[in-house]
Structure 1
Amino acid sequence: MPDLDIMSPDAIADPQGYFANLRATRPVHWDPRYRSWLITSHRHVIAALRDERFSSNRIEPYITKKLSGPDADPLVRQAFEVLSGWMVFKEEPAHHRLRMLCSLAFTPASIAALRTRVEVLCDSLIDAASARPAFDLLRTIANPLTSTVIAEMLGVPVEDRPRFERWTLDVQPLVSTGLDDPNRYEGIARGMDSLVRYFAGQIERYRAEPADNLISALVRANADQDRLSDAELMATCTLLLFGGQETTANLIANSVLALLRHPEQRALLCGGQVDIKTALEEFMRYEGPGKTVIRVAREDFEFGGQRLRAGQRVFLMLSVANRDPEAFEEPERLKLDRGAVRHVGFGLGSHFCLGAPLARLEAGAAIPRIVERFPNLRLATEALQWLPFISTRGLREMNVVAG
């Protein structure tokens, strides 16, 4: 497919449709434009997620290759070094160690305890939105909900939260896009530097005066006399910020959009004929916020009838796999009562999303409240713009009319 371009407007607007033919004819495909393998079928994506020959450690090799010379911008290098500490970019046993320590501060009980606060916050944001005839659902409800919850969990003071939202927007392209020329990251790196400096102060503050928040819990997390280092604390705080904010906000907006375009499914949800827990899994399958995860071939090996070489980049295209007709009946239809949905929206295996319970809690509170509170909600325009990122499936904005 010589004209294939994974960053073309058509691919960004409708990745499931754009890659459907490739998924059917060549599910493991070498893309010479981006010098990467594209894996698109459900079967092959699941196999790759479970295959240890696909490495999640894609940041450290990039630092070594692109950012080790004397001309490298130190702020760009710092930004990538912070990313390299994220557990999602670690291999075993480092990944298991970090995940175990973080899970001590991110327990099911601690997530369940947030339910009332999340529901109250949802109601207050929706109340404020209801005073307007039209609004941007992302900016007015979804983003404030998720950013406030993760900020409160981390222990960020109220007055500092607008800075968090700005830093998140500054750094988002670095987190959500495939690696490329480091020169384009200079502005992003300055945002990461501000975020790093801020978290360094908060870590020291809560180390000296512990409080009931995630930073304090991470500082004291201890398993067999093992603790997170300062660099690991910094990496984990930034990971939780991005994982707990942007991804879930996109899940909320994408799900409401799907309901606006499928009024019969909206009626099922609002009428109580489908449980929100069941519906959420279908939302994740149909238009989840995670579009692609990136891996690197650890060695030369055969996969899906193709020969992969050590060091080659691999795009596991979750959104395309989640519409595979070999895995799902009528995959292009939103069916909230589909039942057990074996989607890959939260990943799989040891790298299954640690924040999935929080995402389910927030989205499970927000989505039904939005569609029930605004029974005549509709899009202000069908001319939607999707973010031009490889990893993220989200809208730039979602302007709606309340009724």
Structure 2
Amino acid sequence: MTYESAKAVFADWGVDTEAALDRLATITISMHCWQGDDVVGFETRSGTSGGGIQATGNYPGRARTPDELRADLEFAYGQIPCKHRLNLHAIYLDTDESPDRDEIEYHHFASWVDWAKDQGIGLDFNPTFFAHEKADDNLTLSHPNKGIRDFWIEHGRRTREIASKMGEELGSSAVNNIWVPDGYKDIPVDRMAARTRLETSLDAMCESEQDPAHMVDAVESKLFGIGVEACTVGSHEFYMGYAIRKGTLLCLDMGHFHPTENIADKLSAVALSLDEILLHVSRPMRWDSDHVILLNDDIQAMANELVFADLLGRTRIGLDFFDATISRTAAWVVGTRNMQKALLRSLLKPQKELKEAEATLDFTRRLIFTEELKDLPFGAVWKEFCERHKVPYGLALSRSLETYQSSVSERG
């Protein structure tokens, strides 16, 4: 079906495809750097990931240097419609120096800012509280040892300063997202002490004011991970309360909840108490296994909520998955495009009619509409979007991804 034919079909349902395409073009997605190298980073030290973080597989082509990672990112961005962002972790510094985490400075990341300027994209940032000898106990900001807490507090302070400088240089506010792996493998007897230490450490870390035009803080919860099965100090309830009290963004990571929880349902609930939300879009299986996102019911429900609750202007959308069993660049491209597809499907729904049916308790009409809409020619509208933004589609995309993967496979 041609785009013009599809446009007419949607018009019969009262949907303006041009308005949907225009809106989608304004939505930026923060693509995560760590998919490109299996969460290894570019520090000289080595450590265990901790907190349940584990990239499985050994597919050839892993980026081994900042230049290789940037080349992979440039290719991936070239396959995705519109301009987006990059989410950078603190272990991805680009320097010949060997600073410890509490010694990092902006100049260790300046090459990323120069590259982002060339690409015309924004950057987001994250302190890295894992893969370090001072995180081997899966305790950082809540550690009983004050010296260890102070080390991580200083690391967090520096990441906030670096993120703020990034945002200032790029003219686009950077999210500095705080996630810690803190927790216990077996049942603790004093959760309150650990959570009090975590709150005090976060307060100390964030005590210096930063211009929100340059940087905003986010806090991210988790249900559990390997080594912290019995108790995660930074639970959803802990961080939801903290974000509301302190005015930070709350990060909802789709992989950090029980698999039966509907994360989309949480958006409107927390939006009543928060100015902004950060999303980490992922696809869990059994637990926080961070698979590449599919265009499935969970992703579509998230997109529907963002559109129908009018939350797009208050939500920063980021991705968080890492699969080393497949081409890493293909994972970026397919995952990001699937997020865009879900948003487009939501934008192509007759929102007024559906809300009206629900408000008048006409649930039969709501059911009929939601099911019949699944048969509308979405694919033709998505193809038009790709063509307008000069990126490949269908078999052409497959060939492009395969050709690039062949060119990097010798990396081992």
Query: Higher relative CO (CA 8 A, sep ≥ 6), structure 1 or 2?
Result: 1
When you count helix as a share of all residues, which structure comes out higher? 1
The two structures have a TM-score, normalised by structure 2, of: 0.25
